[in-house]
Amino acid sequence: MPVDMVVVDDNDDNVFDTQEPTANVVVEEVVESQYGTFHCIMTGPVKANRPVILTLHDVGINHKMCFEALFNHEDMCEITRHFAVCHVDAPGQHEGASTLSAGYVYPTMDQLSEGLITVLKHYGLRSVIGLGVGAGANVLAKFALNHPDLVEGLVLININANAETLIDSMAHKITDWTHTLTDSIISHLFGKDEIQTNLDLIATYRHYINTAMNQTNLGHFWRSYNSRRALDVERPVLEGNISARTLKCSTLLVVGDSSPAVEEVVDCNSKLNPTKSTLLKMSDCGGQPQVVQPAKLTEALKYFIQGLGYSTVASYDSGRIRLNSDVTRTLHDSTRARLHSDGRRQRLQSEELQQRGRSNTNVSMDTGQS
C-alpha cells in the first residue's frame, strides 16, 4: 500500500524564485520489493502537478556520499523548494545495513530497475525526473526504457551503456586477486590523475567505503554491476531505423573531462536520439562532478528542468556562477525544443537562439573561479 504522503497543489510555475526555502520534511523508510529492500529518503511534499526527483547512487557509495554535496549546496534549494526528492539506496547499501542473508541472490541491474516500480507505487508517484550516477544511471536508464510514461527526464552521470566485455571481465578478475575491493571501487569512481593529486578527497572516500559500507553487501552490488547487460538502445536514423528503441524522455548526460567514464558516456550519447539528448562535459572535473562541482551541476539542472516546461528563466548571479556561453546557448536551445504543450506550464521567455546543425551535442563547461 502506498504510504500516506502530503500532496500539495502548486500552480506557481516559476520554480527558481529568490524566496527563502521552507523547511522540508524528511521521511526515511524501507520499501520491500520482489528483488529486495530499498532504503528510501523522501524530502519535501509531493507536488500534484510536478514529478519527483528520484536519485540512485553509484556502486561503492550510497545516496548520502553520492548526493549530499549537491543537494546541500545553497543554489540547489531553488529547485528543491518546489520539487520533492526521493533518494533511493540499493539493497544493502545504506549506512548501517545488516549483512544480506547467505541465500540472498543480489538483483541484476535490470531487476533493480523493475524494483523501482514498487518504490513509485509505495509513494503514489505518477512520474519522476531521474538523477543517477554510474550504476544508478544504468538502472534509471533501463527503468526509463521499460516505463517511458513514468519518466519525464533523466540526468545521467558517468553512465556506461555497454555490457562488460570478456577482456573487462578478465581484468576485473585479476584486479580482484591483486587489489582490495575498496581499491577497485576507488578506480571506478575516480580517474588516475584525480587519485594521485586529490589526496584528501580520495582519503575521504576510502575511509567512508571501509567504515560506512557493509563490505559483503558492497561486493554483491559490485559483482552485479560488472555483470550488467548492455542498455538496449539504438539511435534513430532518418530514412533508416526510425523506430529504433531509445530513450523517449529528455536526457542530459554529464561527465567530468578527467573521469574514467568519459569514453563510455560519449559512446552512450552516440546511441541516443540527438533531438532528446545533450552531452555535458565538465572541464577541470574528475569522476564525481556532483561532489566537486555542485554549483555548476546545479546550474545545468536548472536549465534542464526549464526544458521540461516547469519554470521561466531566472536571473543568475554571473559573478558567483560563470558558465561558458556555449553551455548556456546549448542548454537553452536543447531545452526550448523539448517544452511540453501542457497549458498549465509557461513557455520559456528567453532570447532566440541559433539552431544547431550538429547531430551530437557535446558541450564543455567552463569551471572558472566561483
In the chain, where do the E strands start and end?
7-8, 26-33, 36-43, 46-47, 52-56, 85-89, 128-133, 151-157, 250-256, 277-282, 362-365
Mean pLDDT, 10 residues at a time, the chain of 370 residues: 49 47 76 96 92 98 97 94 96 97 95 98 97 98 97 98 76 67 96 95 97 97 96 79 81 97 96 94 96 96 94 42 45 49 38 39 50
Give 147's DSSP letter: -
Domains assigned to the chain: 7-365 (3.40.50.1820)
Find out whether 63 and 72 touch, Cβ atoms under 8 Å. no
Q: How far is CA 153 from CA 74, 132, 233, 289, 339, in A?
A: 23, 11, 16, 19, 12
Q: What is the pLDDT of residue 339?
A: 42
CA 86 to chain centre: 12
Q: What is the pLDDT of residue 315?
A: 40
Give 103's DSSP letter: T
Please provide the DSSP assignment of 236-297 as one string: --TTS-TT-----SEEEEEEETT-TTHHHHHHHHHTS-TTTEEEEEETT--S-HHHH-HHHH
Residues 6+ apart with CB under 8 A from 194: 201, 202, 258, 286, 287
Q: What is the pLDDT of residue 215?
A: 97
